[in-house]
A and B are shown apart, each in its own frame.
Chain A
């Protein structure tokens, strides 16, 4: 019996285990795959037509260039930060203290954010502040955790059991799969996502420190409301499911407390910053907003060392958003400046940051906005309406010519705006050098002249002509190996209303209004 057990079961198992060990050791010795070569975070599906899952690749590209750059401040969180925070601009404010936006997508909340933070804390000796930069709507809740399907996977792949157990031979996977299924060699330096914004991100993320301008379908800027989710935790089963056994009824407190504990365990400090919110997007009488504020205030009381840089709700003009949670590309200088200035205060005098306290005021009701069509679509009107959008994207001076003097005067005073254009110009030159062309084709958009009533607007010029934009915008990418372009709809139901005026006989963009909340922030020169 024992001889049979030894010879027919245990010994073969032992030999197999030894062989596996020897193979793994040899692979480790000869090939020595890096974390990113062997991680299972990247799927390497040989038949995925558009390549890697974009969210996975976005994080990979961010970390591959910057994971060892030893930042002092990082932010993790949802896409409100991914699309809206330009680390290169913010770093112009922080007096040499390196800030890095590692915001990804809400589908990686909150265990994913925690995983990224912990991954960086382990390898960054000078990382002092870990910031949760969040869109207020995506505060911890059972719904937001349910929707964050990638969160636990990311945590596991970066700092969990999978990160620990993935063997060296897994590093051969992309190479073997590519050879076997595609008959060609795999190279990590080639793009992994094959649609236009993904290719753009691949080509620029090193320069932008992992920022990508939004390429969004537009949300309804007039009637789009976004009710907050309940902070309440339901039954014991859900508690087990989300991995938090505490009986605390507040999901916000449980999740933030867990995050803070992790950050503190590495000797760093936690900071929380909320992204701006479109001015008409909170639901009237939403009971979950005051409840969320109460939960945050409680968290602040229990964790006085945690700094809240902004109130929960800071309303910004709807025109500054692509989706309701993504700042449109021409206004990311503002969101970056907002955070940059707050970080200056945090770094210089943390005690000056006032503790979080509830401050939300319900709008009661929103003024009715009405539009009336005045005539057929006009291409000159369209070109003027989109001038700032295109100028911020390309730094092409010809678009600057189509921006009103009032707006240029305001923007040119903004250091962050100048930085954004400077960075865009640098990026374009770098791409041109590499034979890459990014294109934005707006001929699929139409601009209809309309009258607008009820809309907040800062210019008193009576000659203002509003344009309502709708149709398809095409983002393109062209290089020696790729030539792709794809449409993004800007539906008429989004009510994209942009003011223009005529100056010197030319129709120009006149849609920029400064944000009052920015004026309230302390002025700091980079």
Chain B
């Protein structure tokens, strides 16, 4: 089941919300959330529940153990057990098949007639999200930043909470678990309206914007692979994918936040008009905020952060970003994507281009910085999305812009990027002006204007949506 299915919107969500309110104030409320989450997640494949339950139970028990002892070596041992279990699970499912394939290729190229048995495992959706989330729980308990959860139901509901289970935001235990452990007030009329608007806007963004951007991404890649003429395909590919991944992922977050709100839970903001960032550092404060803060708190700072001199800071940035790339998937290109962002973060630390431009050119400099950062990010998206076989043709297609004769396809695809991009640019600019994400404007919007927006979204979906919407991109992570 996904957020964009009719089953979710018209059966699952209303029934779960109704049952939640029926049992609100009792342990039954979290049991409803837990069962609903298992149904939501298990509908994609019942066996996916096994690693989820194993992870949840392991970290629950580790949390209890950590809370029962003050003896530091024991505590450390329990923490290591949790980290090994979580990272082991992640490694087995996510990196195991990749490592085995590459090991076999290496053995074959070395002429060794031995093959490591292939791992025929399917990656459980969202495993990177929930393992990071449960790890954050044990780390926080270990650091004594929060007390261990005593109620299994509450804890399991925290790990599996369906709105964010598959693609985040990655919630800290001290935030989400505490919300689930306490009696939450009945959601106000305003918040309910806001939640419905978040869901409606999320659906529009996913089905109309993200999926149509996706058409352009797939098609430009196909044309390049098939050696058909499309000068500038690399640029179109990058712009379209920038639109697709942003609209897709932020749409998921909007629907997740809206759904969670209906059962009284606040999920953290995951995006903040990221393409208006003036530097790579600012981009990471605006993009996938829950992951970048997780990496900052549990990786970059423990590595030393910026406390041990400039070179150590650069090293820590590079390690953090490379591992952040690897978190997204088993592949060299994901690591390169992380390294690219690491390099840009270091570059801007050494040469603060945005500050320089803004100081010299004021507003023009600011917008120039935004434009440069956007293109730095777009280059990264090529590494993130393209295949090893398509990167070179995509990049070389940009050069063809200056000497190619047939621009028919280029013009056609540019039209699409501009039409869809205009919607993203205008709506995000409205949010950027008020220093919020666009959907947050719905909170204070006149309800009748909101109704009009809802009607527009509905028509957009019925007329312009991709027939049979595609899966959310971040499910694969």
Residues of A within 8 A of B468 (CB): 40, 43, 153
- Contact across chains for B190 and A47 when beta carbons are under 8 A apart: no
Q: What are 15 A-to-B residue pairs whose CB atoms are below 8 Å?
A: A1-B189, A9-B447, A12-B451, A13-B451, A19-B452, A40-B467, A41-B467, A44-B467, A45-B466, A45-B467, A47-B219, A47-B413, A49-B219, A49-B228, A170-B462
Of all chain A residues, the one with the shortest Cβ separation from B447 is A12
With A16-B455, A19-B452, A170-B463 given, name 20 new contacts (CB 8 A): A5-B189, A8-B189, A12-B447, A12-B451, A16-B451, A16-B458, A19-B455, A23-B455, A43-B468, A45-B215, A46-B416, A47-B216, A47-B416, A48-B219, A169-B459, A169-B462, A173-B462, A176-B463, A181-B212, A183-B415
**B193-A8 in contact (CB<8A):** yes
B476 CB-CB contact with A under 8 Å: no
The answer to whether the Cβ of A206 comes within 8 Å of any Cβ in the partner chain is no
Q: C-beta contact mask, B451-477 vs A, less than 8 Å → 1, else 0? A: 110110011001110111000000000
Chain B 140-159 against A: per-residue CB contact (8 Å), 1 yes, 0 no?
00000000000000000000
Which of B193, B226, B228, B413 has the most chain A CB atoms inside 10 A of its CB?
Answer: B193
A172 within 8 A of B: yes
Whether B365 is near chain A, meaning CB under 8 Å from some CB there, is: no
A169: chain B residues within 8 A (beta carbon):
459, 462-463
Scoring B residues 44 to 87 as 1 if CB is less than 8 Å from chain A, else 0, what string do you get?
Answer: 00110000000000000000000000000000000000000000
Main secondary structure of the interface of A (DSSP, over half): helix
Does B6 lie at the interface of the complex (its beta carbon under 8 Å from any beta carbon of A)?
A: yes
With an 8 A cutoff between CB atoms, is B105 at the interface?
Answer: no
Docked complex: B350-385 residues within 8 A CB-CB of A: none
Name, among A45, A161, A237, the residue most crowded by chain B CB atoms within 10 Å (CB to CB): A45
Q: Does B114 contact A (CB under 8 A)?
A: no
Asked whether A9 and B215 contact (CB < 8 A) given A40-B468, A49-B228, the answer is no
Q: In the complex, are the beta carbons of A20 and B455 less than 8 A apart? A: yes
| Nearest CB of chain A from residue B52's CB, rounded to whole Å | 16
A20 to B459, CA, bound (A): 8
> Which residues of chain A from 1 to 48 have any CB-CB distance to chain B below 8 Å in the complex?
1, 4-5, 7-9, 11-13, 15-16, 19-20, 23, 40-48
What does the 1/0 interface line of B214-236 toward A look like (CB < 8 Å)?
01101100110010100000000
Q: Which residue from B189, B212, B226, B454 sits with its C-beta under 8 Å from A16?
A: B454
Interface size class of B (residues with CB under 8 A): 35 or more
How large, as a class, is the contact surface on chain A? 35 or more
Is B192 an interface residue, CB under 8 A from the partner?
yes
Q: How far is the CA of A171 from the CA of B433 in the complex (A)?
A: 37
In whole Å, how far is B358's beta carbon from the nearest beta carbon of chain A?
37
Residues of A within 8 A of B311 (CB): none
A183 to B463, CA, bound (A): 16
A167 close to chain B: CB less than 8 A: yes
B192 partner residues in chain A, CB cutoff 8 A: 9
> By the criterion CB–CB under 8 Å, are A7 and B447 in contact?
yes
The answer to the question of A177 belonging to the interface, with a C-beta cut-off of 8 Å to chain B, is yes
- Which residue of B193, B222, B455, B463 contacts A9 across the interface (Cβ within 8 Å)? B193
**Residue B448 interfacial (CB < 8 Å):** yes
Take A9-B189, A161-B6, A181-B415 as given contacts and tell me if A173 and B463 are in contact as well, using a CB distance cutoff of 8 Å.
yes
A180 in the interface (beta carbon within 8 A):
yes
Is B431 positioned at the interface, with any CB of A under 8 Å from its CB? no
B347 interface contact, C-beta 8 A: no
Is the CB of B392 closer than 8 A to any CB of chain A?
A: no
Alpha-carbon separation in the docked complex, A511 to B226 (Å): 37
B223 touches A49 (CB 8 A): yes
Identify which of residues 25-83 in chain A touch chain B, using a CB-to-CB cut-off of 8 Å. 40-49
Interface string of B388-422 (1 = CB under 8 A from A): 00000000000000000000000011011001000
A163 nearest CB across to chain B (Å): 13
**Contact assessment for A42 and B467 in the assembled complex, using a CB-CB cutoff below 8 Å:** yes
Interface residues in chain B, defined as those with a beta carbon under 8 Å from any beta carbon in chain A: 6, 46-47, 189-190, 192-193, 196, 212, 215-216, 218-219, 222-223, 226, 228, 412-413, 415-416, 419, 447-448, 450-452, 454-455, 458-459, 462-464, 466-468
Say yes or no: A12 contacts B215, CB within 8 Å.
Answer: no
Q: Are A20 and B458 also in contact (CB < 8 A) when A7-B447, A12-B447, A180-B464 are?
A: yes
Q: Tell me if A182 is interfacial: C-beta within 8 Å of chain B.
A: yes
A169 to B463, CA, bound (A): 6
A173 to B463, CA, bound (A): 4
Q: A165 near B: Cβ within 8 Å?
A: yes
Interface class of chain B by DSSP? helix
Residue ID in chain A nearest B226 by CB atoms: A49
The winner among A44, A46, A161 for most chain B CB atoms within 10 A is: A46
B412→A182 contact, CB < 8 A: yes
Smallest Cβ distance from B122 to chain A, in angstroms?
13
Complexed CA–CA distance, A15 and B446 (Å): 13
A48, A153, A165, A180 pick with most chain B CB within 10 angstroms: A180
Evaluate contact between A181 and B193: CB separation under 8 angstroms: no
Q: Which residues of B contact A42 (CB under 8 A)?
A: 467
When distances are taken between beta carbons in the complex, the residues of chain B under 8 Å from A161 are: 6
CA distance A180 to B419 in the complex (A): 8
Residues B193 and A48 in contact, CB atoms below 8 Å apart: no
The answer to whether A12 touches B450, judged by C-beta atoms less than 8 angstroms apart, is yes
A128-169 CB contact bits vs B (8 Å, 1 = yes)?
A: 000000000000000000000000010000000100010101
- CA gap between A5 and B412 in the complex, in Å: 47
What is the CA–CA distance of A176 and B459 in the complex, to the nearest angstrom? Answer: 11
- With a CB–CB cut-off of 8 A, which chain B residues contact A7? 447
Residues of A within 8 A of B462 (CB): 167, 169-170, 173
Chain B residues with CB under 8 A of A1: 189
Question: Closest approach, in angstroms, between the C-beta of A47 and any C-beta of chain B?
Answer: 4
Docked Cα-Cα span, A416 to B412, in Å, equals 48
* Given A9-B193, A49-B228: A15 touches B463 (CB 8 Å cut-off): no
A179, chain B: closest CB distance, angstroms? 11
In the complex, residue of chain A having the shortest beta-carbon distance to the beta carbon of B193 = A9
Which residues from 177 to 191 on chain A have a C-beta closer than 8 Å to any C-beta of chain B? 177, 180-183
Bound-complex Cα distance A19 to B223 (A): 42
A167 to B419, CA, bound (A): 25
Query: A47 CA to B215 CA in the complex, in Å?
Result: 6
- B193 touches which one: A12, A20, A43, A49 (CB < 8 A)? A12
Residues of chain B lying within 8 A (CB to CB) of residue A183: 415
Chain A residues within 8 Å of B212, by CB: 46, 181
Chain A neighbourhood of B223, CB < 8 A = 49
Residues of B within 8 A of A46 (CB): 212, 215, 416
Inter-chain CA distance A190–B459, complex, in Å, is 26
Nearest CB of chain B from residue A23's CB, rounded to whole Å: 7
B-contacting residues, A208-222, CB 8 Å: none
Q: Which A residues touch B196, using CB under 8 A? A: 13
Q: How far is the CA of A170 from the CA of B192 in the complex (A)?
A: 29
**A49 CB contacts on chain B under 8 angstroms:** 219, 222-223, 226, 228
Q: For the complex, what is the distance from the CA of A155 to the CA of B127, rounded to whole Å?
A: 32
**Min distance, Cβ B314 to any Cβ of chain A, angstroms:** 41
Residues from chain B with Cβ under 8 Å of A172 in the complex: 463
Instruction: Decide: B228 and A23 in contact? CB cutoff 8 A.
Output: no
Q: How far is the CA of A170 from the CA of B461 in the complex (A)?
A: 9
In angstroms, Cα B467 to Cα A183, docked, is 20
